[in-house]
Structure 1
Amino acid sequence: MKNSETRRLQKSMKKAAFLVTLLAFMLPSARTSAQQTEPDHYVDVRVIPQTETIKPGENLDLAIEYTIYPEWHLYWKNPGDSGIPIKNTWTLPEGFEIEEIRWPLPEKILVEPLANYGYKDTVILLQNLKAPETLPEGPIDLEATVDMLVCKDVCIPETAQLRLTLNTGIGEPADNTAIIEKAAAHIPQPLSGTTTFTEENNRLITRFKPETPEKLKNVQLETAEFFPAEWGVINHFPKPEQAFETDGTLVISQERSDTDIAELEVLEGLLTWTDSQGTYTGYAITAKPGQNGTSSVPVAGPADTSPVSPETENAGPAKVQKHKPELTSFSMALLFAFLGGLILNLMPCVFPVISMKALSLAKLSGKEKAEARAHGLAYTAGVIASFIVVGMLLVFLKTAGSAVGWGFQLQNPVVVAGLAYVLFLVGLNLMGFFEIRTNLGNIGSSLADKHSMAGSFFTGVLATVVATPCMAPFMAAALGYALVQNAGVALSIFIALGFGLAFPYLLLCYIPAAQKWLPRPGAWMKTFKQFLAFPMFAFSIWLVSILAQQSGPEGVFMTLLGMLFLAMAVWLTHFRKPLCNCGILARTPLLVCLLLPVMSLYAVAEIPPAGNSYASSESFGESYSPVKLALALESKNPVFVEMTAAWCITCKVNHRLAINIESTRKTFKDNNIEYLIGDWTNYDKEITAYLEEFGRSGVPVYIFYGAPDESGKRPDPVLLPQILTPGIIHAAVNK
């Protein structure tokens, strides 16, 4: 027994010894972890000389390296809305001089509602030390006090003391030239060209005109910003407005702050942007006062399309100009709008809706003529009312200074997701999964007859909504004419367009003989009605694919999640009795399932743009920008410009059947044609301005610029038809 107890005691002691040993090893690690979590300072600073020796009269670069704790940051010389810039105060021997800091490119740090400029992780500031003509004998001591404000959620002032000894005469001096050169590569170089600034309507307008357009060729316009070196010139948080002119001039409009811009004789700062490869870069800027009234960026909203100044007119072959409109007559515009509306009925986006109405009319064919006509008028009223609303929105936005066009609402991811929901529900309704009721519990009375009229009206609304991704022949010229006229003329053209869309169905309702073309009612109608659900589902899927480019995978996920809850809400309506006898709580699951899709739309609205480009996804062609067009037109090659959008069905059909095919590719290659694709899936003011140059308010638009003749003059650009064929392209090229 004693031996057994002794063995147990020995085992227990061994376990205790092991645990004590393990704890002893863990304690230093725990202390280290605690020190890493709660450091006594957040920036380590050291000075690195190019070399450790200096001769009389020489210059020596010093690199001051700041290693910043993760998620904390230091500040640039203009810290932005808050903060204090880094300050190095040197104590030097007599006769020595040190130049100002050479600052590398900072990043914009957003802490809503503030914006700052600064550095994270590691940054090296360069300063140049100049020695006098006579040096003291022996080692030379340099000292510096570094004052800085390091911030995360809170800001902490820190001070570091630096000491550097040169000419020690001990050992071989180190050569840190590689470190200096690497740091110098991050210092922005001056932009060669002309930069001017003006104040217009309480905004700072800065115009950057490089010597050659190649300097700014790879600028992604929405990322371009100007960081003034002087504090108080602009309000830093509001997003700037940017625009490119066709001579390569970049214009940035920013909300000004307290500084009186009129008193500035020079304005220094940085022009920064992210290029198409995702590289963040920039130029150092020295701007001089310019003349007011020359900016192509308005105080709010997109680019102005007014005629450019004479200086810009003579800037090169890519000058901005308004091309002669196809329509100059109001009566012709009305006719074109009516014809365009008629043709819309044959477009794939509208045809399923028209089939739905034809199906309902077949049910009425044996009833009174008055009822059929009433349905026709209700449908027509829905179409025309919807076109009036769209027209009024367009006219209002144009009057307010926005550059918008046909289909503008589909540039908003929330509208795209909402339309996908509507078409998904229409599909479920056609499949017979649920019926739209007009009474809410015991409230109100039966509205069965009124409901059928309301159904016709809202089918007209739906036809208009699904028509927006399509652009029929004649429509483009009519809408282009409408959007440069007064409100009354513009709305008249939209009414004519709506009347054209509604006319075939209205004709069937008013001419009994025409109803003989419709098949007789029968059991087939239920099957055909269910079949029509599949085009609705297909349209809904296509809209979700557009969201993938507008809002990325997160937007797609939130939209599909909303559809899931809509389907669940439809399922819950099949229960004739409440799921429980708990009063108003019995309806809670249904209300939640209806509320969650709305919350999904809100989530989609909060997702930042994905930055995916339909145009850049094409292996054939290059993404459009005004600068790329200017460069292409400076060459001796023909140029073909395609303006398209992922939500434009006409665009995608044309591209697949007429452009992105072997024969057209060969034509472009054989004729050295430079091919540019402009993507209007998301709002782009530069593309909108380009469309307006040719009297267009929507896509598709195809422009061919012929090669210059022997004198160097290009023929006038050719606007190709909206319904494109390979033959049309080949004829334009070989003309």
Structure 2
Amino acid sequence: MFLSPVRQFVAWLVALTAMFVLVVPVSAQEEVREARYGDDNISVQLVADGMPVAGEEWMLALRFIPSAPEWHGYWSNPGDAGQGMMLDLDLPDGWEMGEPLYPVPDRLLISGLMNHIYEGMYAVLVPVRVPEDAEATGLPEVTGFVEYLACTDRVCVPQDAALNAGQGGDFTRWRAEVAPLLDASGYFEISSDRLRIAVPLPAAVDLSDPHIFIANERLVDYAAVQTFMREGDLLIAEIPLDDFGTKEAGTIAGILSFGDGAGVRFEAGSGDVPDGGKLIAGPIGMQTPPLWTLILGALAGGLILNIMPCVFPILSLKALSLARAGESEAKARNEGMAYTAGVVLACVGLGALLLALRAAGEQVGWAFQLQEPGVVILLLVLAVVITVNFAGLFELPSFSFTQGGEPGGAFATGLLAAFAATPCTGPFMAAALGAALLLPTGLALMLFAMLGLGLALPFLLIGLVPALRKRLPRPGPWMETFRKVMAIPMGLTALALIWLTVQLGGRGFGLFALVMLFGIVLALAIVGRLQRAGKMAWPAFGLVAAPFVIFGAFALPASYAAPGSQPSESIHEPIAFSDEALAEARASGQPIFLWFTADWCVTCKVNESVAIEREVVRDAFEESGVITMVGDWTVRDEEITMFLTDRGAAGVPLYLWYPADSGEPEQLPQVLTPDLLTERAK
């Protein structure tokens, strides 16, 4: 995620202050070497582990003891703010100080800034290499000087101390607390937006809440959600990069925290990191649900799509098709299976295309097809053609969406139903689709297939189970009237797509689309008149429609105008979402309600109408000082897509509530009520 100017300024100010108050010129240190600030808040002692032995490693320790529980110190890489320890030791000639060894740090998120800290007493071990010809006859005089920060949640105070090594201390405990170094090296690769690390770790190691602390500064986004996958004895982590950082590294070092205070140090060189693996922690939860629950979730989610508002217009196609299929058992069975094949194929195809685009580096999510103006124009043409066909303007003699018992028509209906239904995500399917974006390709495609099966399941059962089929009305003349009535919801669908066309490409774009549609409808009307007269009809369609289609092919791209990033016309006057805007809002310490929507998502618009934009909600938000923020995903937006992915969401709607002065947000249900929002504003 982007660091806002406020976050950058705070981090820069802390670092600059630390530099001025902590960093003393070397010459001054050599001359004075006296503490200027003292160690009243976090005291420090330098102790040695026994006597040094020539040719062996001798261990020293810096023991830090806070004066009160609210004070904390920092790891070598402090994170977004703070300052790491600066140590200078005076050792005998030829003796060499190694890299300090730290325990596994904790995380502290304050106003969107991630800090790597230690609370309570902690010890930093300092290995010293003693030369083989050293005269090690007792405890040598080792002095030094250390500078560090002592901080609470609200204030930071510089600390320093002159050191003089003594003996004592619980080195057995301190050695056990230091993260041990893995024997085997890992490897990493850096893409345009994230760091991927493969760490060799036995599969038997339990990871309750894994987190990687990267020692390289200005490389990763410390506050971002990290994703972890397992491939045998290999742990694969993905961490978003710092957008204002270096984005490059020769080697990477850090500490892998297991989540229970334990962890290991690792080093990694550049190399190929394998794809896939079992997701064990990340955006969709700290523990991935078992595969069988994801399968059931995708199945249930597809089933629920049949009653979701975004799917309602297509129900007319399915209802009419299944009603006609009641004419015979064989026809009903064939139509049910063909319809299911069309739905499943469409869902798997869209899923495969989504995974391929993401693998190629494209930032897309579920329902990405409705973010493309060309796809919306195609759907608009189909909706208009089906509407006028239902209305009886023309007939498709050998291939019809409404002709019962014809597998071809049922298959096409299934394709169209799935294509139109996929923009919405509902209960159960959200977690399954979020996992599908991270699972291996085979498992991901299986989840997309289960989604399609759930969407088609009611009609498949009616086609295969005679008892259910007998409950359908018997075929008769009424079906012709029913077909014409079904032109109404299809016509409303076409009107909604016309509105969406204007939202995507502007009024000129929508006007030229209407001109092209007029020509197509005119051509279909001529076809219908010729059909009723018993004459050859379809060549006339080509002659009449071709000029309008050619006009559209040239005029539509030329008139397309991408919409600006204007906020929604909500009564709450929300801020337009960006990572930068969100970071600024979180730094304010006020509660935040953030929602992601799209003009093609009917569920989103229903929630906005019945819950978000209600007067009672507005009053509650104003009284509590709630900051409202909206992310409009009508057209493709890489920043929004990346945020949705980091939250484990495959599409919209997504609703997040950030309490005042809190860390992780609460993800709200996908069906909102005014009471749900006002209760959180209290």
* TM-score (normalizing by structure 2): 0.58
- Choose the corresponding residue for 1:423, options 373, 376, 383: 383
Matched, 1:725 2:678: no
Report the counterpart of residue 406 of structure 2 in structure 1.
Answer: 452
What corresponds to 2:351 in structure 1?
391
Task: Tell me the CA shift for residue 727 of structure 1.
Answer: 2.6
Query: CA offset at residue 612 of structure 1?
Result: 3.8
1:476 equivalent in structure 2:
430
Cα deviation digits, residues 266-321 of structure 1 (max 9, x gap): xxxxxxxxxxxxxxxxxxxxxxxxxxx999983xxxx55869966469988x6555
Distance 1:676 1:455 in 2: 44
Distance in 2, matches of 1:612 and 1:370, equals 53
Distance 1:493 1:612, change over 3 A: same
In 2 relative to 1, CA 561–726 (structure 1 residues): closer, same or farther, beyond 3 Å?
A: same
Return the letter of the residue paired with 2:306.
N
Q: 3-state SS of the aligned residue for 1:554?
A: helix
CA distance change for structure 1 residues 372 and 550 in 2, over 3 Å: closer, same or farther?
same
The aligned residue for residue 134 of structure 1 is none
* 1:596 pairs with one of 527, 536, 548: 548
User: Against the structure 1 CA distance between its residues 338 and 429, is the aligned structure 2 distance closer, same or farther, given a 3 Å change threshold?
Assistant: same
1:49-70 CA deviation, whole Å, 9 max, x = no partner? xxxxxxxxxxxxxxxxxxxxxx
- Measured after TM superposition, the shift of residue 719 of structure 1 is 0.8
Separation of aligned partners in 1, 2:320 and 2:548: 34
Q: Any conservation in 2 of the 1:481–1:695 contact (CA below 8 Å)?
A: yes
For 1:222-249, what per-residue CA distance to the aligned partner results, in whole angstroms no more than 9, with x for missing partners? xxxxxxxxxxxxxxxxxxxxxxxx989x
Match of 1:523 in 2: 477
**Structure 2 partner of 1:195:** none
Which residue is 2:245 aligned to? none
Structure 1 pair 577/407, CA: closer, same or farther in 2 (3 Å)? closer
Deviations 1:299-354 (A, max 9, x none): xxxx55869966469988x6555654244321111100000000011123323433
Tell me if structure 1 keeps the 8 A contact 2:4–2:583.
Answer: no
SS in 1 for 2:388: helix
CA distance in 2, matches of 1:662, 1:469: 29
Distance verdict in 2 for CA 1:589–1:722, change over 3 Å: closer
Distance 2:3 2:592 in 1: 26
Name which structure has the greater RCO, CA cutoff 8 Å, separation 6+.
2
Q: 1:520 to 1:604 in 2, by over 3 A?
A: same
Change beyond 3 A, Cα 1:578–1:422: closer
Cα pair 1:578 1:587 within 8 Å, conserved: no
- Tell me, yes or no, if structure 1 residue 625 matches structure 2 residue 585: no
User: Contact 2:594–2:657 (CA<8 Å) still a contact in 1?
Assistant: yes
TM-fit CA distance, 1:505? 0.3
Q: Tell me, yes or no, if structure 1 residue 325 matches structure 2 residue 288.
A: no
- Code of the residue aligned with 1:641 in structure 2: it is L
Q: CA deviation at 1:503?
A: 0.3
Instruction: Give yes or no for contact 1:328–1:481 (8 Å, CA) kept in 2.
Output: no
User: Structure 1 CA distance, aligned partners of 2:451 and 2:580?
Assistant: 36
Q: Name the counterpart of 1:108.
A: none
Displacement of 1:423 in angstroms is 0.5
The 1-side partners of 2:405 and 2:520 are apart by 22
Could you tell me which amino acid in structure 1 is paired with residue 369 of structure 2? Q
The superposition leaves residues 572-613 of structure 1 with CA deviations (integer Å, 9 ceiling, x where unpaired) of 21343999x9x99x9466334145235415533344433245
Structure 2 match to 1:615: 567
**Aligned pair in 2 of structure 1 residues 438, 670: CA closer, same or farther (>3 Å)?**
same
Give, in whole Å, the separation in 1 of the partners of 2:629 and 2:469.
Answer: 48
Partner of 1:413: 373
Contact 1:420 / 1:540 at 8 angstroms: preserved in 2? yes
AA paired with 1:536?
M
Distance 1:209 1:694, change over 3 A: closer
Instruction: Give the distance between the partners of 2:336 and 2:542, measured in 1 at CA.
Output: 35
* Aligned position for 1:340: 301
Contact 1:614–1:645, Cα closer than 8 Å, also in 2: no
Indicate if the aligned counterparts of 2:577 and 2:630 stay in contact, CA closer than 8 A: yes
Match of 1:373 among 326, 333, 342: 333
Q: For the residues of structure 1 that align with 2:478 and 2:532, how far apart are their CA atoms?
A: 35
Q: Are the aligned partners of 1:546 and 1:647 in contact in 2 as well (CA < 8 Å)?
A: yes
| TM-score, scaled relative to structure 1 | 0.54
**What corresponds to 2:599 in structure 1?**
646
Distance 2:559 2:194 in 1: 28
* Contact 2:512–2:552 (Cα < 8 Å) also in 1: yes
Closer, same or farther: CA 378–337 of 1 in aligned 2, 3 Å: same
Secondary structure of 1:576's aligned partner? helix
SS of corresponding position for 1:328: coil
Residue 642 of structure 1 aligns to a residue whose secondary structure is strand
AA aligned opposite 2:441: A
* Runs of 5+ consecutive residues of structure 1 not aligned to the other structure: 1-206, 216-245, 249-292, 440-445, 709-713
User: What is the aligned counterpart of 1:690 among 598, 620, 643?
Assistant: 643
Identity %: 37
User: 1:545 offset after TM fit, Å?
Assistant: 1.2
Which aligned pairs between 1:111-130 and structure 2 lie closer than 5 A?
Answer: none
| Structure 1 residue 535 displacement after superposition | 1.2
Q: CA deviation at 1:414?
A: 1.0
Counterpart pick for 1:658 among 582, 604, 611: 611
Shift in Å at residue 518 of structure 1? 2.0
What does 1:482-561 align with in structure 2 at a 5 Å threshold? Answer: 482-561=436-515
- 2-side partners of 1:427 and 1:604: how far apart? 23
SS in 1 for 2:656: strand
CA contact (8 A) 1:376 1:509 kept: yes
Deviations 1:23-49 (A, max 9, x none): xxxxxxxxxxxxxxxxxxxxxxxxxxx
SS, match of residue 595 in structure 2: strand
Tell me which amino acid in the other structure corresponds to 1:402.
Answer: E
1:610-632 alpha-carbon deviations (Å, 9 max, x no partner): 32456343342121111110100
| CA spacing shift, 1:565–1:347, aligned 2, 3 Å | same
SS in 1 for 2:630: strand
User: Residues 438 and 451 of structure 1 are in contact (CA less than 8 Å); yes or no, is this contact kept in structure 2?
Assistant: no
Describe the SS at the equivalent of 1:349. Answer: helix
Structure 2 match to 1:463? 417
Equivalent pair of 2:112/2:586 in contact (CA under 8 Å): no
CA contact (8 A) 1:308 1:320 kept: no
Residue 569 (structure 1) aligns with: 523
* Paired AA for residue 317 in structure 2: M
- 2: CA distance, partners of 1:315 / 1:483: 21
Deviations 1:613-652 (A, max 9, x none): 5634334212111111010010110111101111111111
Deviation at 1:410, TM superposition (A): 0.7
Whether the 8 Å contact between 1:313 and 1:319 is mirrored in structure 2 is no
Query: 2:570 touches 2:613 (CA, 8 Å); kept in 1?
Result: no
Q: Secondary structure at the match of 1:716?
A: coil
Pair 1:210–1:640, CA change in 2 (3 A): closer
Counterpart of 1:269 in structure 2 is none
- Rounded to whole Å, the distance in 2 between the matches of 1:629 and 1:449 is 52
Mapped partners of 2:393, 2:213: distance in 1: 58
Structural RMSD (CA): 3.5
| Secondary structure at the counterpart of residue 427 of structure 2 | coil
Q: Which residue is equivalent to 2:312?
A: 351
Question: What corresponds to 2:630 in structure 1?
Answer: 677
Q: Secondary structure at the match of 1:704?
A: strand
Deviation at 1:364, TM superposition (A): 3.4
Change (3 A) 1:578 1:642: closer
CA distance in 1, matches of 2:569, 2:327: 53
